[in-house]
Structure 1
């Protein structure tokens, strides 16, 4: 391990330069967003270097920097490396015969929008501050915005206000004379500055090994451009993905969407991480309906239907599956629960209704395709509460009954006998709610109804097989 005096000593000279001005919003970004990540030493070092960059350009010794900051050389070096790592500083060195000189080039911090939409820095800040403080800090950078789409643009153009120069004025100075000496070898004009950019050591992730794991039949290699490659390095570093894990996420994104971007890859990796670490299958399935979405919160049920609503709201999908099977739920069933809650954003209570809906009418089987179709339909309907889910299920039952009755009148017979398909139905889907029963083992024969044509065909075929 390199000790600090092998990299820099107090007599080493340094100079500071910055290609942009540090505005008030930049200072707020540095204080509120960068400081929690790099710490007070590095933050103070950046502000000190910035002050020196705006004063004179004389070379100084690092001893001078130690005197101003009252930091040890070890602390200065540590703070410098943090600034370099987070993209706020570039360091150049030059060895002369007897001395060593450093050039510190300050980089401008990201704008608030760039910072909070960056999938790297924003995650680190979230982990440092916690959810509540993170949201509070983020909201402090928001400004009112009015949509101008309903307004008429009446902005004046340059040619409407200013007149063209007279030919004699144009001839007095040509462009090369106007711009002469604007910038020289050792002097430059101030600009808005260049934004700091994070860079990761590529040795930390075997990109080629990942590429070799990707099937070219699924993902063409040309889609892995330089921008996506940089994002892959960052995501692999943040979420500690191995090449084979990253290859799977890339293939999942491309297979499901037909394209791959930094944003949809980030969402896929985040979903994978929650699934594998923070919210594994059992933990996710153990969640219950959020209190604000509970219709029976703090109330005693007075009817059988209210008892069932309270049951769906109080138990977790894991417990509901246990009640059905009497054993630990299978992993394949828990994955379907995770799909409903993660991919389709269904609440635990609504997921319970869906599970009960399908299990009761499908011979205690959770068909993957059926679960996916119904959950996506309910997600599009923005169903969040148990009563909403039960009402939608009843409505679909009614639609299907009307359709089936019409079909029965048209065809007349099933296998030579006029009858309705026999598929079991949950009690709470029956027309007369006063006769509902909480028990799921005493359901009567009826028809399970869905609005999609594919579900109708499936049910008709299931009914014929059940005879």
Structure 2
């Protein structure tokens, strides 16, 4: 199942800001229109041009995604699909900050590569070649090469240097340039998550008495690009490298690209790889790792809720000391409903999120009674039930589920009050699990005895 717009925390009333750390010029526009449009389409490139107008907006101007939807006549899912293409190809970076009421997005436009960088990039150049005809590819390449036709190899540089013209100051000036924003340069496609087995490659090369020193940082980056583009293994890359070593025992990047392309064409019936967007199932699979990490962290958080007094949780969650009425209400929950600390903690957070941080006693007691009848006994069961009842009934108007509304969206998975409690108990981690269970049991009994004593005094 593909990600939906609300999986990004994106809603129409969420605001956005557009930033750009370079001056866009005619050359950039030509690169975008002539070279990138065939690869990712006119809609995505049009969105890049459209977002650029918001760079000049004042910082105090509020821009919401309603503007994009209204002016481009698209929904948020279409917007995200085009943004995915721009982000994947390296033209946009997206950042988000979640708050209780809405989310704020920052879209950073990335400077396109120069024509030389584009055609020197093994991935971009091959993907463009796959989308257009050979004749059209040569036309595009020739168009950009014609802009610098003058052969400078026969000329000598006679430009006078600074010290030839100006006097050097006797005392060096100390100037602070930390606030001056320098223009960014094109950094290529982001392949930081791509892994290549260099250790095996080194072993294979050494078996042919080839020094691994020829694989420097620049060569590594090119090998990762070529391996990603053509789906090459360490064994295949070894054969290509052996063919690309010059008589001076150096690695020729041009030969490396050439032999890798030839190898792929032979294996795939003279068809070069094409730029393909992931299918919905592949997108879902790529997010499984992140989901597992979140589940592990969530499990730890739920365990901590089971061991934390609701009064302590409430004091930190609401960032204020609970009132006497609230404390009596919590005591009544524990005494009358016999719910665990974890269930009560989830219940209180659930109500505060729904009731604008208020704790109406009648409403809380009614929910507690209902949860007890449903047999909810653990924080995890309470958490899952809260998620279930918070899901939007109208599928055509999706909103963020309960866990994204505040706890997971605007706060870290482990809240501050739990982190502080962990820090204060750091030295106690050497205690074994049996001692922890006994201490928790004794704390519960002491708490219940205190409640009974207080209720007895009140009745007298």
Distance (Å, rounded) in 2 between the aligned partners of 1:164 and 1:244: 57
Q: Which residue of 2 aligns with 1:227?
A: 218
Deviation at 1:255, TM superposition (A): 8.4
Equivalent residue in structure 1 for 2:17, among 15, 18, 22: 15
Equivalent residue in structure 1 for 2:231, among 232, 240, 255: 240
Distance (Å, rounded) in 2 between the aligned partners of 1:246 and 1:50: 41
Question: Compared with structure 1, are the counterparts of its residues 11 and 257 closer, same or farther at alpha carbon in structure 2 (3 Å cutoff)?
Answer: farther
Distance (Å, rounded) in 2 between the aligned partners of 1:243 and 1:155: 48
Deviation at 1:19, TM superposition (A): 0.7
- CA-to-aligned-CA distance 1:153-207 (integer Å, 9 cap, x gap): 5434445555667x8xx8xxx844xx45x654xxx54x44321520236456555
Q: Which residue of 1 aligns with 2:345?
A: none
Equivalent residue in structure 2 for 1:73, among 65, 76, 86: 76
The residue correspondences of 1:19-30 to structure 2 (distance < 5 A) are 19-30=21-32
Which is greater in Rg?
A: 1
Distance (Å, rounded) in 2 between the aligned partners of 1:133 and 1:161: 48
Distance (Å, rounded) in 1 between the aligned partners of 2:213 and 2:154: 41
Q: Which residue of 2 aligns with 1:56?
A: 58
Comparing 123-132 with 198-207, greater Cα deviation is found at 198-207
3-state SS, counterpart of residue 122 of structure 2: coil
Distance (Å, rounded) in 2 between the aligned partners of 1:223 and 1:151: 33
CA contact (8 A) 2:245 2:252 kept: no
3-state SS, counterpart of residue 23 of structure 2: coil
The reply to whether residue 145 of structure 1 matches residue 146 of structure 2 is: no
The residue correspondences of 1:374-385 to structure 2 (distance < 5 A) are none
- CA-to-aligned-CA distance 1:289-338 (integer Å, 9 cap, x gap): xxxxxxxxxxxxxxxxxxxxxxxxxxxxxxxxxxxxxxxxxxxxxxxxxx
Q: Which residue of 2 aligns with 1:3?
A: 4
- CA-to-aligned-CA distance 1:64-123 (integer Å, 9 cap, x gap): 222232222111111111111111111122223333222211110001111112211011
Question: Compared with structure 1, are the counterparts of its residues 236 and 48 closer, same or farther at alpha carbon in structure 2 (3 Å cutoff)?
Answer: same
CA contact (8 A) 1:17 1:104 kept: yes
Q: Which runs of 5+ in 1 are unaligned?
A: 281-467
CA contact (8 A) 1:107 1:196 kept: no
Distance (Å, rounded) in 2 between the aligned partners of 1:45 and 1:237: 27
Question: Compared with structure 1, are the counterparts of its residues 92 and 149 closer, same or farther at alpha carbon in structure 2 (3 Å cutoff)?
Answer: same
The reply to whether residue 119 of structure 1 matches residue 118 of structure 2 is: no
The residue correspondences of 1:365-380 to structure 2 (distance < 5 A) are none
Q: Which residue of 2 aligns with 1:463?
A: none
Deviation at 1:244, TM superposition (A): 2.5
Q: Which runs of 5+ in 2 are unaligned?
A: 272-460
Question: Compared with structure 1, are the counterparts of its residues 145 and 220 closer, same or farther at alpha carbon in structure 2 (3 Å cutoff)?
Answer: same
Distance (Å, rounded) in 2 between the aligned partners of 1:268 and 1:34: 26
Query: Aligned-pair RMSD on alpha carbons?
Result: 3.0
Distance (Å, rounded) in 2 between the aligned partners of 1:133 and 1:144: 20
Deviation at 1:15, TM superposition (A): 1.1
Comparing 201-210 with 239-248, greater Cα deviation is found at 201-210
Deviation at 1:229, TM superposition (A): 2.3
Q: Which residue of 1 aligns with 2:306?
A: none
Question: Compared with structure 1, are the counterparts of its residues 256 and 16 closer, same or farther at alpha carbon in structure 2 (3 Å cutoff)?
Answer: same
CA contact (8 A) 1:41 1:75 kept: no
Deviation at 1:212, TM superposition (A): 5.0
Distance (Å, rounded) in 2 between the aligned partners of 1:88 and 1:198: 9
3-state SS, counterpart of residue 120 of structure 1: helix
The reply to whether residue 136 of structure 1 matches residue 127 of structure 2 is: no
CA contact (8 A) 2:244 2:253 kept: no
The residue correspondences of 1:305-316 to structure 2 (distance < 5 A) are none
Deviation at 1:35, TM superposition (A): 1.3
Distance (Å, rounded) in 2 between the aligned partners of 1:160 and 1:250: 47
